[in-house]
Amino acid sequence: MYLFTGKILKNQRLTADIRYLRISAPADFCQQSAPGRFIMLSCNDGLFDPLLKRPFGILNRGENWFEVVIKEVGKGSLQLGEMKEGSLVSGHGPLGNGYPKINSDPDKDNFTPLILVAGGMGIASIASCLLFSSKAGIMANSRVLLYGAANRDELLLLDEIKECAPGIRIETITDDGSSGRQGWVTELLETELQQYPEALVFACGPEPMLINVQQVLRKFSTRGYLSLENRMACGFGVCLGCVQEVAGIDDNGTVESAKVCTQGPVFPADKVIF
């Protein structure tokens, strides 16, 4: 884990309350970043208000920079979203386990097609699988991205994903039907799994969506991983603020609660107890 001061290199508005930030970072931090890992961030203005850094998924990285997408929901995210290019942030990370490495060689027996499922800001975590993938290999497995949002304007990063992963099919759905199809992203998942129950599923989104994803996976006996976004105070295993009830995630099957920041945020879907 690295503690560092980074500079805002780019701050782009995606919607009225969602920002796309590129931030400078040490090369070692960038190298150790991976799809599904996250960073704790705050403004470096010396005021410590709010006191605690906030967690954000690492969307992408280069040699000396990383990117995050931030929805402004409260003081911490608003401050970060409003920062001008050239101003400084404090960061520590990369944190968490990230998505599991999977075989991306289609000629090997254990090659598994992958279905990516994102709801709302969960796209930041899920899109990292595709934006990092030119370097990390998950894209070879990815068949389809199923993406649900409140409305068409909140469907983010589609151009970036199409550019980085031109082969992937993208299915979108919104609460208000403004993207053409109205409903929940789990409806799209059910349709996919009717065809590909042997697929592996990675999902990130609000808890009600993840609960539904878990139910759909059980229905089709499909394996999957859920990336949780529990509230966090420290991000490195000390405060116990992020604990999640789970069913036996260790080798002996005995661990009944897990720190999402250090043992997650990505968990086997059948182990999470909501």
Ligand X SMILES: Cc1cc2nc3c(=O)[nH]c(=O)nc-3n(C[C@H](O)[C@H](O)[C@H](O)COP(=O)(O)OP(=O)(O)OC[C@H]3O[C@@H](n4cnc5c(N)ncnc54)[C@H](O)[C@@H]3O)c2cc1C
Q: Binds 75, which of ligand X, ligand FES, none (CB < 5 to 8 A, cut-off by type)?
A: ligand X
Min. distance of Cβ 185 from ligand X in angstroms? 17
**By C-beta, is 154 or 229 nearer to ligand X?**
229
| Residue 75 sits in the site that holds ligand X (CB under 6 A) | yes
# residues contacting ligand X (CB under 6 A): 23
| Residue 235 sits in the site that holds ligand FES (CB under 6 A) | yes
Residues 33-52 that bind ligand X (CB under 6 A): 38, 50
Pairing, β 2-15 against β 18-24? antiparallel
Q: Binds 137, which of ligand FES, ligand X, none (CB < 5 to 8 A, cut-off by type)?
A: none
Tell me the C-alpha distance between 51 and 47, whole Å: 8
Residues 137-166 that bind ligand FES (CB under 6 A): none
Instruction: Please state, in angstroms and as integers, the Cα–Cα distance from residue 90 to each residue in 60, 206, 239, following that order.
Output: 18, 26, 19
Angle at 29 between CA 146 and CA 55, to 5 degrees: 55
- In the chain, the N- to C-terminal Cα span, in Å, equals 29
Angle at 60 between CA 109 and CA 42, to 5 degrees: 135
SS3 for 9-67 is: EEEEEEECCEEEEEEECCHHHHHHCCCCCEEEEEECCCCCCCCCCEEEECCEECCCEEE
Residue of the chain from 230, 241, 255, 268 that contacts ligand X (CB under 6 A): 230
Tell how far CA 174 is from the center of its chain: 19
Q: Phi and psi for 201 in degrees, rounded to 5?
A: -120, 130
| Residue 77 sits in the site that holds ligand X (CB under 6 A) | yes
| Residue 104 sits in the site that holds ligand X (CB under 6 A) | no
| Residue 272 sits in the site that holds ligand FES (CB under 6 A) | no
| Residue 193 sits in the site that holds ligand FES (CB under 6 A) | no
| Residue 241 sits in the site that holds ligand FES (CB under 6 A) | yes
Copy the structure tokens of residue 259. Answer: 């720190």
| Residue 228 sits in the site that holds ligand FES (CB under 6 A) | no
Residue of the chain from 177, 237, 248, 253 that contacts ligand FES (CB under 6 A): 237
Residues 53-72 that bind ligand X (CB under 6 A): 54-57, 68-71
Residues 3-22 that bind ligand X (CB under 6 A): none
Collapsing DSSP to helix, strand or coil, 228 comes out as coil
Residues 6+ apart with CB under 8 A from 135: none
Binding site for ligand FES (CB under 6 A): 232-235, 237-242, 259, 261
Residues in contact with ligand X by the rule CB under 6 A: 38, 50, 54-57, 68-71, 73-78, 121, 124, 229-232, 265
